[in-house]
Amino acid sequence: MRSHDIVEELLEKATPRPAPPSEDEHVVREAVMAEWQSVAGKVKLRRRLTQFAIAATIVLGIAISFNALQVDNVQPVQVATIAKNHGAIYLVGEQSLMQEASDLSSVYVGQIIETGNDAAISLEWANGGSLRIDKNTRIEFTNDESVFLRSGQVYFDSQPATMTAITGSGFEINTDHGLVRHLGTQYMTTVDARDLIVRVREGQVSVDGVYVEQAVAVAGQQMTVSGGASPSVLDIDSFGAVWAWAEEMAPTLDMDGRSTYDFLQMTAREIGLVVEYETDVAETVARDGILRGAVEMDPRSELEFRMAGEDLGYRIDGGTIFVSLDSSSRQ
Task: Give, to the nearest 10 degrees, the angle between helix 299-307 and helix 260-271.
Answer: 150
Using an 8 Å Cβ cutoff, are 174 and 146 in contact?
Answer: yes
What is the DSSP pairing of strand 120-125 with strand 274-277? unpaired
My answer on whether 99 and 233 are in the same domain is yes
How many Å apart are CA 299 and CA 287, to the nearest integer? 19
CB atoms within 10 A of CB 175: 21
Using an 8 Å Cβ cutoff, are 89 and 119 in contact?
Answer: yes
Q: Span 236-252, mean pLDDT? A: 94
My answer on whether 32 and 110 are in the same domain is no
pLDDT tens, position by position, 75-108: 889 999 999 999 999 999 877 788 888 788 999 9
Domain-located, residue 308: yes
DSSP SS3 for 265: helix
Please tell me the predicted confidence (pLDDT) of residue 262.
95
Task: Give, to the nearest 10 degrees, the angle between helix 280-288 and helix 260-271.
Answer: 100
Q: Span 69-78, mean pLDDT? A: 65
My answer on whether 54 and 136 are in the same domain is no
pTM listed for this prediction: 0.73
Please tell me the predicted confidence (pLDDT) of residue 16.
55
The residue with greater pLDDT, 319 or 11, is 319
CB atoms within 10 A of CB 75: 6
Number of structural domains (the chain) is 3
Using an 8 Å Cβ cutoff, are 234 and 221 in contact?
Answer: yes
Domain-terminating residue out of 28, 58, 73: 73
How many Å apart are CA 225 and CA 207, to the nearest integer? 9
DSSP 64: H
The residue with greater pLDDT, 294 or 259, is 259
Domain-terminating residue out of 228, 244, 260: 244
Domain-located, residue 3: no
CB atoms within 10 A of CB 253: 23
Domain-located, residue 202: yes
My answer on whether 194 and 219 are in the same domain is yes
Domain-located, residue 152: yes
Q: CB neighbours of 123 closer than 8 A, spacing ≥ 6? A: 80, 81, 82, 83, 107, 130, 131, 132, 133
Instruction: For residue 67, give its domain range.
Output: 19-73
Q: Span 18-42, mean pLDDT? A: 53
How many Å apart are CA 315 and CA 331, to the nearest integer? 5
My answer on whether 63 and 120 are in the same domain is no
Using an 8 Å Cβ cutoff, are 282 and 307 in contact?
Answer: no
Please tell me the predicted confidence (pLDDT) of residue 34.
54
Cα separation of the two ends of the chain:
136
